[in-house]
Structure 1
Amino acid sequence: MALKTWESTFAPSLDASQWPEYNGDEYVPDCGLLKQKTGRRKRKRLRNEMDDSSKGYGEDMAMAHPDYPLLETFYDREHRAHLMVDDGEVLSPLRIHTHSPLRWDERYAPCIGRAGFLPLARLVMTGLPMFDNAALTALVDRWRSEIHTFHLPCGELMVTLQDVAMILGLPVDGQPVCGNVQPAGWRDMVELIVGTRPPEPTQEAKDKKPLGVSSAWLAQNFTECPHDAVEHVVERYARAWLWLLVGGYLFPDRTGNTVSWMYLPLLGKEWENVGLYSWGSATLAFYFD
Structure 2
Amino acid sequence: MPDIAVEDASLPDSSTVQEEDLTHAFLGGPTDPSILRSFNSHVAATVCHGEERGPLKCHNHSSKILAWPWWSVDNNTRFKAIIEQSGLSQLAHCTYRFVNKLLISSFVERWQPETNTFHMTVGEMTLTLDDVGTILGLPIVSKSVSVPDMIDHHGVTLLVYGLGIIERVAHEEVSTSDLDPEEAMQCATRAYLLFLLGCTLFSDKSGGRVPVVYLGLLMDLGSIHTYAWGAAALAFLYRQLGHASRSGVKQMGGYMTLLEA
- With the shorter chain as reference, the TM-score category is 0.5 to 0.7
* Contact 1:253-1:260 at 8 Å conserved across structures: no
* Contact 1:81-1:142 at 8 Å conserved across structures: yes
* Contact 2:36-2:114 at 8 Å conserved across structures: no
| Structure 2 counterparts to residues 34-183 of structure 1, below 5 A | 57-58=22-23, 60-61=24-25, 74-84=37-47, 86-99=48-61, 100-101=64-65, 103-106=68-71, 107=76, 108-124=79-95, 128-183=96-151
1:121 is displaced (CA, Å) by 2.7
Aligned mates of 1:254, 1:139 — CA distance in 2: 18
CA deviations on 1:189-214 (whole Å, 9 max, x unpaired) are: 2122122354536xxxxxxxxxxx6x
Equivalent residue of 2:93, what SS? Answer: helix
Equivalent residue of 1:118, what SS? Answer: coil
Cα 1:195–1:187 shift into 2, 3 Å: same
Aligned mates of 1:282, 1:267 — CA distance in 2: 15
**Partner of residue 265 from structure 1, selected from 216, 235, 240:** 216
1:159 is displaced (CA, Å) by 0.8
**What percent identity do the matched residue pairs reach?**
26
Deviates further, 94-103 or 145-154:
94-103
Mark the runs of 5 or more structure 1 residues left unpaired by the alignment: 1-51, 202-212, 223-228
Mark the runs of 5 or more structure 2 residues left unpaired by the alignment: 1-16, 240-261
1:70 is displaced (CA, Å) by 8.2
* Contact 2:86-2:224 at 8 Å conserved across structures: yes
Report the counterpart of residue 279 of structure 1 in structure 2. Answer: 229
1:53 is displaced (CA, Å) by 6.4
1:73 is displaced (CA, Å) by 6.2
| Structure 2 counterparts to residues 163-242 of structure 1, below 5 A | 163-183=131-151, 184-197=153-166, 198-200=169-171, 221=175, 230-242=181-193
Equivalent residue of 1:263, what SS? Answer: helix
Aligned mates of 1:121, 1:98 — CA distance in 2: 13
* Contact 2:144-2:227 at 8 Å conserved across structures: yes
1:67 is displaced (CA, Å) by 6.8
1:230 is displaced (CA, Å) by 4.0
1:55 is displaced (CA, Å) by 5.6
CA deviations on 1:160-211 (whole Å, 9 max, x unpaired) are: 101111112111121111214232232232122122354536xxxxxxxxxx
- Superposition TM-score, scaled by structure 2 size: 0.68
1:96 is displaced (CA, Å) by 0.8
Q: Aligned Cα RMSD in Å?
A: 2.9
